Amino acid sequence: MTRLLEQAFDTVSNLPDAEQDDLARVMLQLAGVDQPPLQLTAEEEADLAEADAEIARGELATAQEVRAVWAKHGL
């Protein structure tokens, strides 16, 4: 194992379990290992349906709103 990968594992091991699982799925996908599709909760399904409806109505974030979110997360 490379030092960088070892550092990544050490860092990720301190995250909450759900975040560790999300990152593990991404790593496995990148390595070519098929992963079962995620099952959305009823609340997540409703949120996704509302987001689709907002897109259909043309209710999209402005560039300024997107930049604000990026800035909030240090991106």
Per-residue model confidence (pLDDT) at position 35: 75
Per-residue model confidence (pLDDT) at position 34: 84
Beta carbons within 8 Å of 35's beta carbon, 6+ residues apart: 25, 28, 29
pLDDT tens sequence across 18-45? 999 999 989 998 998 887 777 899 999 9
Per-residue model confidence (pLDDT) at position 42: 96
The model's pTM is: 0.48
